[in-house]
Amino acid sequence: MTEVTIYDLAKELNVSIATVSRALKDDPAVTQKTKKKVLALAEKRGYRSNYFASSLRRKKTLTIGVLMHELNTHFMISVLAGIEKVIAETDYDIIIAHSAESGEREIANATNLFHKRVDGLIASLAFDTPNLAHFDQFINKKIPVIFVDRVEESSGGTKVIIDNFNAGYEATSHLIKQGCKKIVHLTGYLTRNVYNRRYEGYLAALQDNKIKFKKEWLFVNDLQEQTCIDTCKQILKMSPLPDGLFVANDYSAAICIRTLKQAGIRIPEDIAVVGFNNDNICSLIEPNLTTINYPGIIIGEIAARNLINHLNGNGDINLTSTILIKSELVIRASSLKSKSEATH
């Protein structure tokens, strides 16, 4: 079926092409009567704007690429919601790509977004992203890129993150205050900044409280459900059993609580548990999960606002800068061996 053009609309209405074009753009130079006729015919004939052609003329597509490492957690959905909230106030649209924790897929998606001519990119890295070379094509064309959450901290450009070291330190210190002396840490691959920095905070808290770290206390894996179940089985074989467990995300922490309880472990009396992100699952698991509140929606809003400001000519986000977002410990029943510490 032949695509209807503004030339067809102009011919049928016996008006100029310029008049049709202005009417479709709601130009005040065109009378309301003419606008109504143009819009009615455009709808009747199924006219669609040739967005690609107009974008080439203005050298902008008015699209923002968003490259996420996952879309199945409350946190990442919150980040996306924050991005969409800001973008909705502008003339830009969003194209979302999902790497599913695959560096290879991330590279392919980045190239796809580049060829779709996005005006800017917001990205969060996959578990096994080898390097940032696939973002060079954007930088070379002066297309701004902002990294959120999963980033390369030593790289250039703008990054929006929390202080993962301090958050890991605070989570571990809380367990120590509850009387825990044998604290296991379950985390994702330490090549990613979020897990590496939380681990470093965990180590520092142990050291500052004169607790000697043991290598068998550290479990590094993909944080998937079966992997967490298998980790809990290993924990149950430890002698003596640990009395504290710090898990790098809430979903994995909830799986651990369920698995340990099924084995007869009392939470928190036998093992106190702290998670990370403050996902909805924190209030669904019993006991409710102590966690680090990590405001994904704020991270998304700040990343999007910085990107839009740059695209509007305000500021240079290609300069090396890190925007730190505040996080906080939210204490719930899963970690309260000592009932004297107030929740907040």
Question: What pLDDT does residue 337 have?
Answer: 87
Asked whether residue 342 is assigned to any structural domain, the reply reads no
Asked whether residue 86 is assigned to any structural domain, the reply reads yes
Q: DSSP states of 53-65 as a string?
A: HHHHHHT---EEE
Question: What pLDDT does residue 157 have?
Answer: 80
Q: Tell me the CB-side half-sphere exposure of residue 159, using CA atoms within 13 A.
A: 19
Asked whether residue 25 is assigned to any structural domain, the reply reads yes
d(CA 43, CA 38): 9
Clarify whether residues 227 and 280 are in a common domain.
Answer: yes
Q: What is the pLDDT of residues 196-229, one digit of tens each?
A: 999 999 999 999 999 999 999 999 999 999 999 9
In one-letter notation, the amino acid at residue 211 is I
Asked whether residue 341 is assigned to any structural domain, the reply reads no
Question: What pLDDT does residue 58 have?
Answer: 59
Using alpha carbons, select from 310, 297, 298, 296 the residue that is nearest to residue 64.
310
Q: Which domain holds residue 304?
A: 58-161+295-326
Clarify whether residues 144 and 195 are in a common domain.
Answer: no
CA of residue 154 relative to chain centroid, distance: 19
Clarify whether residues 169 and 289 are in a common domain.
Answer: yes
**Mean pLDDT across the chain:** 91
Q: How many domains are there within the chain?
A: 3
d(CA 231, CA 221): 9
Question: What pLDDT does residue 344 have?
Answer: 42
CATH of the domain at 68: 3.40.50.2300
This prediction has a pTM of 0.81
Clarify whether residues 277 and 316 are in a common domain.
Answer: no
CATH of the domain at 42: 1.10.260.40
Clarify whether residues 289 and 171 are in a common domain.
Answer: yes
Asked whether residue 340 is assigned to any structural domain, the reply reads no
Q: DSSP states of 199-257 as a string?
A: HHHHHHHHHHTT----GGGEEES---HHHHHHHHHHHHT-SSPPSEEEESSHHHHHHHH
Clarify whether residues 248 and 304 are in a common domain.
Answer: no
Clarify whether residues 300 and 313 are in a common domain.
Answer: yes
Would the pLDDT of 43 be above 90?
Answer: no
Q: For residue 37, how many other CB atoms are within 10 A of its CB? A: 17
pLDDT class of 342 with cuts at 50, 70, 90:
very low
Would the pLDDT of 327 be above 90?
Answer: yes
pLDDT class of 246 with cuts at 50, 70, 90:
very high
Would the pLDDT of 320 be above 90?
Answer: no
Beta bridge partners of 184: 245
